[in-house]
Structures are given as structure tokens and as C-alpha cells.
């Protein structure tokens, strides 16, 4: 992410504006929604160590199964000790545009350097659980089905021994298709305050000639882990026998698990900072082989390492395959990778005109349809990791705007610098973000973590409204959360793929209800490829509603919906 | 800044004329003829041979020729007598007739060794390629003839055929060990063949033979540096660095220190060299290069300013300063420097490329403007491969559709660049990218391989080759390429760290430290 990994890539020339109106407008309603507690994360004016700089993620989670998205926000601490109020926070959705902080009541008060969160029902009891990564001990919170959670890390066999690890990304993934969610955890660097170099100590501790926090280059890389769910609430570390341990050392960050080669088995993509990103392909026998470089998602188009941090997943070109979007450091373009359906990717960054933007250090991202026109757009959040730099070099501010690319429907995107509203243009130093429909109004809103500020909740006021449809999947033989399911929605002669994943963006988890904008289409046909291999087809489903589908059962009543 | 060992070593091939090899050769030739005559047991001829030999030893060449003239009237086809005649003519300095005598002997007796050696000697001395078949003939008859091997090696080296030269030098044995100039040529040839470690061994022999010879020591250090043994190079140079060090030694020492990640001493050496010889332009250019590598652009500019005060007409210094100004985004100053360089030395042909590069940097958000400037430079320098590459690269950055005319123009430009300069790795890479984009994966693979011939660790070429092979389904080679790519990445990361390790600053007096 940092230091010398900046590539100074030339931005692509901006094409002539299309002149088309963009109907989604984003307004930050966090304050009026009651999301007022700042996300404490390291120093405000200076970051001495990289631990303070990377920040954390957030999640949309319906923890009480009322059909309304609640919010879970991670938090860090400070080198000198946690200030009052520094904790992860759970906010219950009041179904009126506001939220109530239920952290303490839910038993989720926790202080530390939290990084990533992934949401999934690991014990198949019908309630989503939480796994949170830390610099230090990661934590598994079991949802007790009564509005409270219990830290079951120890009972689950997930307590770590030895020096503190830097848990980064995580993903629930049923890699062996036994119906129980297993757990993949990426680790960033091996770090200790005792041995960490200080700003200016070496070449990896300077940026633009200014001493800054060191790393990740120059620091030893982390080791990624795979835990198999034993089906009894416990896990077994299978990192070695699964082949995960054989991967090259890398500074692992966000994890996305999905079936990229469409063979019915989930694969695992890890965005890596300053090292090649990793793509673990599932061998169907409990093992993986790492093929990121060969499959075209590990390096830049010219074969160079990039600072991979956040990941968006979606089908930007409507070919029915899951593409990837990866965010990078300032001075580099983000990367757009087109999947050929066999799990091999071509970098389309410049061809898709996404290469026009290199001005920001970029984090959480989504490839999501924000204006319901049927074409997934791209939104990512940004923010520098060096608050001390802007005092000497004002051209590198700490707080920077969000970046919105509208999908033009012809394989290219157009950056909308001002058309997305104040929620897009207002600068923050943001990290994780999650996409979901918190107000159940049929468009996608955005929850964003801001460093040492309250979060942003960007309400999407889409006007005029276009048609849409959402799918909530419930596994029966498959894991209950249906994580790993791939859905193809056919509408108006087009097809779009999406997948149920437990982490994407940056260390964050989106609304598990898959949201498809369908433009002018009134109904859709749907293919559901369940995690356990079952393929089900549903025809002529009418638009503008949430459709809940239970595996082998079919469409069942949805919870919490207005209509 | 580190040049190849070859660049550092100045060897005059003409100095390897093997005079001393030939001196011993003549004496040997005479002895051989006598021995063979005795062995033949022909009493009349034996008497002639004895007389002629005696005359030759007394350097009475005319007497020898007179005796031979009579004998040859009796035995015109006698090769021994013809060889003695050749030796006598040689002694008189009449090489034309000497060669004619040897050739006549060979006509009568094609495998007659003394005649072969005599003729080869004369052809070799004349620098004629006709020496080669004669020497090869000698070696067919006497494969271990170290003199013939040495002469063949020297001849091959002179004609630039280092592969043949190295083969024969290796067979020259003691003959080579006694000849420092020949040994140096051997070492240079090994370097040309990229057999760096063997070259180091050869130059070590030279230093061992003359430990106080500064030139031999610099040669060895340069070769060690080229072979990647920078610490050995430093140890080799150390004895020369005490006291009043020569400028050439300081210049090389700067390279060696930099390779050893000791930038402060590299800078110190260059500064000392500049003080000693402030008019030597390459010293300033090297300083600028260090400054650039360490992103200390202003320090480089300051030093070049100092150089330009003394050498106001040095085009190279303007060019180097222009490059630094580009890095500092001071495009107007860069443009002025490039123009001045062009004005001062239109023949160097570098400023057109520099102007093109400047146009690309200056117009990052306006590739059409950059293209217009590059095309203007191309109109002035239509055979500049770099400009054709630059044009292809700028078009490629625009990501034109493969079916578009712009794409076709880009691919044509890239093709022209590699035609003009097949060693231009970046041009092969951009051409490979065009082929990848248009789905011509086999052609892309071919261009990647050409790029890798010149730059075996080029990450872009390795990566594109992996992608091209993957798309063509020829995956056998991929695991090995992935290993190479991983190694190249590690090396590049380490080198980048080293470059960023040290910064040059400008002190208040304006001199760079």
C-alpha cells in the first residue's frame, strides 16, 4: 500500500463527457441517522506506525432477522491507549431511517486494532454471525438469536498462539461443500511495536521525501490461513494440507470468495498490497492451487506489483461472469479485470476508461448498480494514509472525495466528479465501505468508515426510480447464508451475474440481498447456482420486490419489506 | 551508471600482433626444415641445407638465396628448399617473394608443415584472412599447436568472432600466458560472450602478473563489477585509492561504491574526480545519473550547472540537465535544454528522443498533443527508433479499439521501432501488448521472447509471455516463467529500495553533497 509502492502511472485521458444525466444522488445522512460516534483509528495528525494507517471495515448485517439492514462498524484504538468510546459498534435499524447503538446490549463492545469483518451463519441456525480480524487475536461472535452475541473464539478453536498476527481480510467460504461455512483469513504483515522502524528510518519510511510510517515493504509478510468448519461449532486449521500455505508470501488484505471459473466450487481471491494478489483455485478435493499471475489478476497489465487493497465483484459487461475491480495506491489506476467465465481475466482498466483516475489512495469499492439502469457502476472510497504530508505538500491532502464511475453500457465507464451529489464530493479519509439498501427503498446506499470521524451513510435518492429486483437466498443443503451462490438474472435480453459473498469492498460486508437494477424490464428469469451444486431456475419473477428463495423449496415470503 | 566491463576496458587489437610468438616461430621453422632434411638422408640435398642454414644463421640471406637458386634448378619441386628460400626472403624483408616460395612449396606438398607455418605467419602479419585456412590446416595436422591456436584466436578476435577466438585462446596454453595483450583480448572476448566469471579469472591473471599495474587493476575491477561481484571490485581497487588517485580510478570507484550501496563514497569519488579534471564531461553526467536514481534531482542540476560554467558548449550536459528538469516537472527548462543540446550537437540525435519523452511527460492528460509533438520530432528524425516506440506507446495508452485506424497506426509504429532497433526492449513490449489486445497471441509471445533476449529479467515481457502462452494453451513453459518473474520482481524491489536509500542534497553554497 505504502511507501515505495507508488507507481506513478499516467492517468488516461478523460473522454468527452457523455452528457447523460445520472439519477442517483448521494447524501450523507449519518448524523441524522444517529451514526455519530467517530471511528477511532490511530493518530489524527500523524501515523507513527502502519497499524494506525490502514483502518477498518464495516458491514450491513440483519442480525435480528427483521428484514432491515443493521450496521456493524469496526474501530481501532490509539498508540497511547483507547479514548472513551473506542469500540466496534452495532447499530439496530429502527426502520425509519435512524439507528440505535446496541453495541453494549449485544455484547459486542471491544477495543483493539480491528481490521476486517465477514458475516455468515457458520452454525446454520438462521442467524448471521460475525468474524472480526485484528492486529492481535481475531474474534468470532456467535449470534445468540436474541439480539446478543457471544465471543466464542476460544471454544471454536480459533485462539492463536505465538506472536500477535495481523489479521486482515476474511471470508466465510464452504470450500469443501459440506454445507458448513469454513473460514479464510488473510494476514497483512508480521508486526510488533518493539521491532517496528519509525518514520524516516529507511527508504520504505519516506514518501515524497517526507518521513512517514514504514511498510509494508521492508516488513515480513503475513501467512494466510484456512480453517475448516467441523460442523460442531469448532474449526480446524487446514492451511497446510489445503495448499494455502504454499502460496508466495504476500501482504494480504481484502478477501473475496466466489466461483470464478464456474465449476461449482468456490475459489478465493486475496487483494495483496505491494505483492502479487492471490487467486486460489479450488481443486474439489479440499485443496487449492494459487494461480493469480497466470490468470491475470495478480499484477498490473505490465507485470508490476500493485498495492491491492479493496475489491469489488460484479458483472460490469453483462456477460454472465464475475469480474473484479481492485483499488490501489495514489499514483496508480485501480484495476478492472474481465472474467472469461473460466476464471481467467483480462485487465480492462484502460479499455473501460477507468484509468482516468490516479489521484487518490483508494480503498473500499463496489461494482454495483447505483442507478438501477441494469449496468453495474463502480464506486470507491479514498483517503491518504499520511496525514502529516499535507502540511508540507498540500497537493496530497489526507481527506479526499469518493470516486464514482457510471457504467455507460458499452464496456466503458465515465467518472462523475460532481453528478453524484455531496455524498460523493465531500472529502474524508475513508477506508471500508459496504453497499446495501438500509431504507429498503429499492436502491443501493453506502456505509463508509472514515478515519477518526463518524461514518458516512450515503443515502441514495434515485429519481426517477427504475426497476429493480433483490434476491435473498436461504440455503438448506447448502450453508444457510447461501454464501458462494451465484445468481444469473436475465432481463430485457441481458444477463447479469452476482454472487453471495461474505466480504468484499475493503474488509467489509455488503447487504447479503443481491440487488439487480433492471432498467425498464418488468420481470426477470433467474438461475441460482447453489453452493452445494444445485442449479435452480425461476421464471417470470416480477420486478421491484425482494424475492426470498429457499434452496429446493422455491420462493418464500420475504421479511421486513414495505410492500 | 554502472557500465559493462567492456565499456571500461580499452584493448587495442592491433597491440596483439604476436610479434614475440612469431619470433619463436621462425627459429622453430628453421629447425624443423633441418631436421626433416637430415631425416630424408639425401646427402646432396643435406649438404645444401646445411650450407643454407649456416648462411641464414649468419643472416647472409643473399648467400643463402644464391645457394638455393642452384639447388632449386636441380630440384624445383623440393618443398624443403622452397621453405628455406622463403625464410631467406623473409630475412631480407621481401615478404612477397617469401610468401610466393611458401605457396610454391605447398603446391608441391600441401601438408608440408614448415611451408604452412611460414605462409600462415606472413599472412597473419599482413592481417590477411588468408591466414585462417592455413592455420586451420596446421591444426588439422598438429591439433595441439599452441602457436597456431593463439594466432587463430587473435585473428578471430580482430574480426569480431569472439566465439572462435575464445575457443582457440583456451587451446593456446602457455603461449597465451606469456602474452598480456593476448590475455586481455581473451578476457574482453569472454566479456562479450557474457562469460563474466571466466573473464574475471583472466583479468585476475593479468593483475597477478603485474600487481602494480593500475590499468590491469582497473580492468579487473570493471570486470568484477560487470559480473556482479561489486565487493571484489572494491577490494581490487582499494590499493589504488590511497594517496593521489587517478581520475579514471576515481570514476570507476564511484561506480563500484554505488554498486556496493555506498552512495556517499560514490559521490565523494565523483566530486574528487571532478575537482581533478573539471572538464571531463562524463563525470558530471554520472553524477547526474546518481542524483536521478536517488530522486535528488536538484542536486544533479546544481552539479550540471557547475559543469556548464566550465563547458558551456557541452551538449551532453544540457541533455542530462533536461532529463532532470523533466523529472522535476520543469518542462519549459527541459525543453530549452534539449533544444540547446540539439543546437550544439545535431549529430548526437538524442535530443529528438528527449523532446519526444518530454512531450509525453508534459502532456500526460493530453496524449493527442504529445503525439503531435512526437510526430514533429519524427519528421526531423525519421529513423529514430525511440520516437517510433514513443508514438506506439502513447497510442497504446489511449487504448484504441483493435479494429480502429489508430490501433493500426500504433502497431505499425511499434513494428517500425523494432525494425530500426531490434534491441529496444520497450518497443518489443509495446508491440507485444498490441498483439495481446488484438488476440494475436502467438505474435505477442514472439515479441516477448525478443524482448527477453536483450533483457532476460524484464517483468513486462515475462508477464506478457505468460499471458500469451496461457491464451494459446501452450502452458508447459509457464511454471518456469513464473519463477523467473518472481525472481525479477524480488530483484526489482531490492534495487528500488537501494535507489531510494540515499538522497543527495544541495548545501547552501550550492554544491551537491
ipTM associated with this complex: 0.91
pLDDT (mean) for A51-69:
97
CB B403 within 8 A of CB B410: no
Report yes or no: B296 at the A interface, CB cutoff 8 Å.
no
Q: What's residue B511's pLDDT?
A: 41
**Chain B positions in Cβ-Cβ contact with residue A301 (cut-off 8 Å):** 433
Whether A299 has its CB under 8 Å from any CB of chain B: the answer is yes
**Mean pLDDT score across all residues of chain A:** 95
Neighboring chain B residues of A13 at a CB cutoff of 8 Å: 365-368, 398
> What is the residue-wise DSSP string for B325-391?
HHHTT-HHHHHHHHHHHHHH-GGG-HHHHHHHHHHHHHTTT-HHHHHHHHHHHHHH-TT-HHHHHHH
Q: Which tops the pLDDT comparison, A243 or B497?
A: A243
Residue B194 and residue B190: Cα distance in Å, rounded? 6
- Closest CB to B478: pick one of A10, A217, A294: A294
Calculate mean pLDDT across residues B172-188. 80
Asked if the bond preceding B151 is cis, omega within 30° of 0, the reply is no
Per CB-CB distance under 8 Å, the chain B contacts of A11 are 364-365
What separation, in Å, do the N-terminal and C-terminal C-alpha atoms of chain A show? 45
Taking the CB of residue B102, how many other CB atoms lie within 10 A of it? 31
Q: In whole angstroms, give the CA distance from residue B218 to residue B234.
A: 10
pLDDT tens, residue by residue, B187-221: 888 888 888 888 899 899 889 888 888 888 999 99
Put simply, the answer to whether A302 touches B459 (Cβ < 8 Å) is yes
Percent of chain B clearing pLDDT 70 (strictly above) = 87
Residues of B in Cβ contact (< 8 Å) with A209 = 295, 503
Q: How far is CA B369 from CA A300, A333, A357, B373, B504, in A?
A: 26, 22, 19, 6, 34
Percent of chain A predicted with pLDDT > 70: 98
Which of A539-553, B276-290, B439-453 has the least mean pLDDT? B276-290
What was the pLDDT predicted at B248? 92
Q: What angle do CA A257, A260, A262 make, to 5 degrees?
A: 120
Nearest Cα to Cα of residue B114 among B30, B40, B215, B52: B30
pTM recorded for the entire structure: 0.77
B496 — contact with chain A (CB < 8 Å)?
A: yes
Which residue from B433, B478, B501 is facing A203, i.e. has the nearest CB?
B501
- Minimal C-alpha gap between B467 and chain A (Å): 7
Cα angle for residues A314, A317, A323 (degrees, 5° grid): 35
Residue B502: its pLDDT value, please? 64
> B240-285, pLDDT tens digit by residue?
988 788 999 999 999 999 888 888 899 999 999 999 999 899 999 9
Prior bond of A116 cis (ω within 30°): no
Q: Contact B462/A203, CB-based, under 8 Å?
A: no
* Pick from A2-11, A358-367, B312-321, B383-392: least confident: A2-11
Residue A520 CB: number of other CB atoms within 10 A?
11
**Which long-range contacts link A238-246 to residues 24+ away (Cβ below 8 Å)?**
A238/A286, A241/A286, A241/A287, A242/A175, A242/A286, A242/A287, A242/A288, A243/A280, A243/A283, A243/A287, A243/A288, A243/A289, A243/A290, A244/A184, A244/A280, A244/A288, A246/A290
Indicate the residue of A11, A217, A302 with minimum beta-carbon distance to B493: A217
Q: How far apart are CA A217 and CA A224, in angstroms?
A: 17
Query: For residue A184, what are the contacts with CB-CB under 8 A and spacing of at least 6?
Result: A170, A171, A173, A175, A224, A225, A226, A227, A244, A255, A257, A268
Task: Give which of B363, B467, B477, B497 to mutate to test A binding, by max A Cβ within 10 Å.
Answer: B467
C-beta atoms of B485 and A355 within 8 A: no
Alpha carbon separation from A463 to A337, A377, A514, B422, B471 (Å, rounded): 31, 16, 21, 58, 44
Contact B364 A11 (CB under 8 A): yes
pLDDT tens-place string over residues A485-509: 999 999 999 999 999 999 999 999 9
Give the model's pLDDT for residue A139.
Answer: 98
Q: What distances in angstroms separate CA B11 from CA B150, B186, B423, one per listed residue? A: 17, 10, 25
CA distance B100 to B131: 14
Q: How many residues does chain A have?
A: 563
Phi-psi region of A470 (alpha: psi -120 to 50; beta: other; left: phi over 0): beta
d(CA B195, CA B98): 41
Position B178 pLDDT exceeds 80? no
- Say if the Cβ atoms of A304 and B478 lie within 8 Å: no
Give the whole-angstrom CA distance, residue B341 versus residue B349.
10
Here the cell at position B201 is 579469472
The pLDDT confidence band at residue B503, using thresholds 50, 70 and 90, is low
* Predicted local confidence at residue B27, as pLDDT: 54
- What is the side-by-side order of every strand in the sheet holding A99-101? A58-61, A70-73, A89-93, A99-101
pLDDT tens-digit map of B467-497 = 999 999 999 999 999 999 999 998 887 777 6
Domains of chain B: 6-158 (1.25.40.10), 349-475 (1.25.40.10)
CA distance A411 to chain B (A): 12
Amino acid at each position: 500500500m505504502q511507501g515505495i509502492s507508488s507507481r506513478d502511472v499516467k492517468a488516461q485521458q478523460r473522454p468527452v463527457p457523455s452528457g447523460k444525466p445520472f439519477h442517483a444522488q448521494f447524501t450523507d445522512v449519518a448524523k441524522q441517522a444517529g451514526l455519530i460516534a467517530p471511528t477511532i483509528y490511530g493518530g489524527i495528525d500523524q501515523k507513527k506506525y502502519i497499524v494506525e494507517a490502514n483502518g477498518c471495515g464495516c458491514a450491513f448485517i440483519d442480525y435480528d432477522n427483521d428484514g432491515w439492514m443493521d450496521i456493524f462498524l469496526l474501530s481501532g484504538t490509539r498508540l497511547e491507549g483507547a479514548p472513551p468510546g473506542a469500540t466496534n459498534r452495532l447499530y439496530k435499524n429502527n426502520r425509519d431511517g435512524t439507528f440505535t447503538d446496541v453495541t453494549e446490549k449485544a455484547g459486542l463492545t471491544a477495543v483493539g486494532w480491528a481490521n476486517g469483518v465477514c458475516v455468515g451463519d457458520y452454525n446454520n441456525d438462521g442467524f448471521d454471525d460475525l468474524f472480526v480480524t485484528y492486529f492481535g487475536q481475531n474474534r468470532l461472535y456467535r449470534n445468540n438469536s436474541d439480539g446478543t452475541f457471544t465471543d466464542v473464539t476460544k471454544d471454536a478453536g480459533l485462539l492463536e498462539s505465538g506472536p500477535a498476527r495481523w489479521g486482515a481480510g476474511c471470508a466465510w467460504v464452504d470450500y469443501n461443500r459440506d454445507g458448513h461455512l469454513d473460514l479464510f483469513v488473510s494476514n497483512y504483515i508480521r508486526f510488533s511495536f518493539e521491532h517496528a522502524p519509525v518514520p524516516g528510518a529507511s527508504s520504505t519510511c519516506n514518501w515524497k521525501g517526507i518521513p512517514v510510517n514504514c511498510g509494508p515493504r521492508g516488513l515480513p509478510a503475513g501467512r494466510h490461513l484456512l480453517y475448516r468448519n467441523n460442523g460442531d461449532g469448532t474449526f480446524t486449521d487446514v492451511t497446510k494440507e489445503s495448499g494455502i500455505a504454499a502460496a508466495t508470501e504476500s501482504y494480504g488484505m481484502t478477501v473475496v470468495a466466489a466461483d470464478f471459473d464456474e465449476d461449482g466450487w468456490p475459489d478465493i481471491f486475496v487483494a495483496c498490497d505491494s505483492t502479487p494478489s492471490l487467486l486460489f483455485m479450488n481443486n474439489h478435493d479440499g485443496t487449492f492451487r494459487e494461480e493469480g499471475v497466470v490468470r491475470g489478476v495478480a499484477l498490473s497489465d505490465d507485470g508490476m506489483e500493485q498495492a491491492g487493497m479493496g475489491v469489488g465483484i460484479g458483472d460490469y459487461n453483462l456477460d454472465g461472469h464475475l469480474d473484479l475491480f481492485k483499488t490501489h495506491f495514489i499514483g496508480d489506476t485501480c484495476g478492472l479485470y474481465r472474467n472469461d467465465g473460466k476464471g481467467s481475466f483480462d485487465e480492462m482498466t484502460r479499455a473501460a476508461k477507468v484509468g482516468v483516475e490516479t489521484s487518490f489512495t483508494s480503498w473500499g469499492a463496489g461494482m454495483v448498480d447505483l442507478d438501477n439502469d441494469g449496468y453495474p457502476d463502480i464506486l470507491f472510497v479514498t483517503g491518504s494514509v499520511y496525514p502529516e504530508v499535507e502540511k508540507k505538500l498540500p497537493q496530497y491532502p489526507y481527506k479526499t472525495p469518493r470516486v464514482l464511475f457510471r457504467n455507460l453500457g458499452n464496456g466503458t465507464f465515465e467518472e462523475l466528479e460532481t453528478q453524484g451529489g455531496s455524498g460523493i464530493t465531500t472529502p474524508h479519509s475513508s477506508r471500508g465501505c459496504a453497499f446495501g439498501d438500509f431504507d429498503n427503498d429499492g436502491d443501493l446506499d453506502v456505509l463508509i468508515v472514515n478515519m477518526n470521524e463518524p461514518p458516512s451513510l450515503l443515502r441514495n435518492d434515485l429519481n426517477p426510480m427504475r426497476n429493480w429486483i433483490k434476491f435473498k437466498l436461504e440455503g438448506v443443503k447448502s450453508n444457510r447464508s447461501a454464501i458462494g451462490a451465484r445468481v444469473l438474472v436475465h432481463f430485457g435480453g441481458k444477463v447479469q451475474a452476482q454472487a453471495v459473498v461474505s466480504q468484499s469492498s475493503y474488509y467489509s460486508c455488503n447487504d447479503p440481498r443481491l440487488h439487480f437494477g433492471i432498467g425498464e424490464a418488468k420481470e426477470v428469469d433467474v438461475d441460482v447456482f447453489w453452493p452445494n451444486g444445485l442449479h435452480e431456475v425461476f421464471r417470470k419473477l416480477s420486478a421491484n420486490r425482494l424475492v426470498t428463495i429457499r434452496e429446493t423449496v422455491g420462493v418464500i415470503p420475504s421479511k421486513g419489506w414495505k410492500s | 551508471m554502472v557500465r559493462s566491463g567492456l565499456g571500461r576496458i580499452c584493448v587495442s587489437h592491433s597491440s596483439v600482433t604476436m610479434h614475440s610468438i612469431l619470433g619463436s616461430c621462425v627459429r622453430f621453422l628453421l629447425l624443423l626444415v633441418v631436421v626433416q632434411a637430415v631425416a630424408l638422408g639425401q646427402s646432396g640435398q643435406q649438404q645444401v641445407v646445411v650450407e643454407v642454414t649456416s648462411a641464414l644463421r649468419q643472416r647472409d640471406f643473399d648467400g643463402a638465396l644464391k645457394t638455393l637458386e642452384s639447388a632449386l634448378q636441380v630440384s624445383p619441386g623440393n618443398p624443403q628448399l622452397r621453405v628455406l628460400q622463403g625464410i631467406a626472403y623473409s630475412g631480407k624483408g621481401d615478404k612477397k617473394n617469401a610468401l610466393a616460395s611458401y605457396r610454391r612449396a605447398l603446391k608441391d606438398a600441401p601438408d608440408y608443415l614448415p611451408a604452412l607455418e611460414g605462409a600462415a605467419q606472413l599472412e597473419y602479419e599482413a592481417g590477411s584472412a588468408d591466414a585462417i585456412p592455413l592455420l586451420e590446416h596446421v591444426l588439422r595436422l598438429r591439433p595441439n599447436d599452441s602457436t597456431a591456436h593463439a594466432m587463430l584466436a587473435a585473428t578471430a578476435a580482430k574480426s569480431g568472432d569472439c566465439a572462435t577466438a575464445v575457443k582457440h585462446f583456451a587451446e593456446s596454453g602457455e603461449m597465451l600466458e606469456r602474452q598480456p595483450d593476448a590475455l586481455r583480448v581473451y578476457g574482453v572476448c569472454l566479456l562479450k560472450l557474457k562469460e563474466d566469471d571466466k573473464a574475471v579469472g583472466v583479468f585476475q591473471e593479468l593483475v597477478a602478473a603485474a600487481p602494480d599495474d593500475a590499468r590491469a587493476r582497473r580492468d579487473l575491477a570493471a570486470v568484477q563489477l560487470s559480473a556482479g561481484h561489486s565487493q571484489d571490485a572494491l577490494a581490487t581497487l582499494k590499493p589504488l585509492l590511497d594517496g593521489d588517485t587517478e581520475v579514471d580510478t576515481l570514476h570507476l570507484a564511484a561506480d563500484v561504491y554505488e554498486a556496493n550501496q555506498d552512495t556517499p563514497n560514490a559521490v565523494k569519488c565523483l566530486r574528487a574526480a571532478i575537482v581533478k579534471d573539471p572538464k571531463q564531461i562524463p563525470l558530471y553526467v554520472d553524477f547526474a545519473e546518481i542524483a536521478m536514481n536517488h530522486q535528488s534531482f536538484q542536486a544533479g542540476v546544481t552539479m550540471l550547472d557547475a559543469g556548464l560554467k566550465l563547458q558551456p558548449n557541452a551538449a551532453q550536459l544540457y541533455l542530462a540537465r533536461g532529463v532532470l528538469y523533466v523529472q522535476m516537472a520543469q518542462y519549459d527548462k527541459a525543453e530549452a535544454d534539449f533544444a540547446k543540446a540539439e543546437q550544439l550537437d545535431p549529430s548526437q540525435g538524442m535530443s529528438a528522443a528527449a523532446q519526444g519523452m518530454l512531450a509525453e511527460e508534459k502532456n500526460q492528460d493530453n496524449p493527442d498533443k504529445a503525439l503531435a509533438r512526437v510526430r514533429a520530432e519524427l519528421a526531423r528524425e525519421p529513423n529514430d527508433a525511440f520516437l517510433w516506440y514513443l508514438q506506439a506507446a502513447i497510442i497504446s495508452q489511449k487504448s484504441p479499439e483493435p479494429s480502429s485506424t489508430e490501433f493500426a497506426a500504433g502497431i505499425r509504429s511499434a513494428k517500425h521501432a523494432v525494425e530500426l532497433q531490434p534491441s529496444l526492449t520497450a518497443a518489443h513490449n509495446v508491440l507485444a501488448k498490441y498483439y495481446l489486445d488484438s488476440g494475436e497471441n502467438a505474435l505477442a509471445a514472439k515479441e516477448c521472447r525478443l524482448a527477453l533476449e536483450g533483457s532476460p529479467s524484464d517483468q513486462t515481457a515475462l508477464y506478457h509471455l505468460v499471458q500469451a502462452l496461457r491464451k494459446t494453451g501452450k502452458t508447459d513453459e509457464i511454471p518456469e516463467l513464473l519463477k523467473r518473474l518472481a525472481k525479477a520482481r524480488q530483484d526489482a524491489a531490492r534495487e528500488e529500495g537501494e535507489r531510494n536509500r540515499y538522497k543527495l542534497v544541495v548545501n547552501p553554497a550550492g554544491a551537491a553533497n
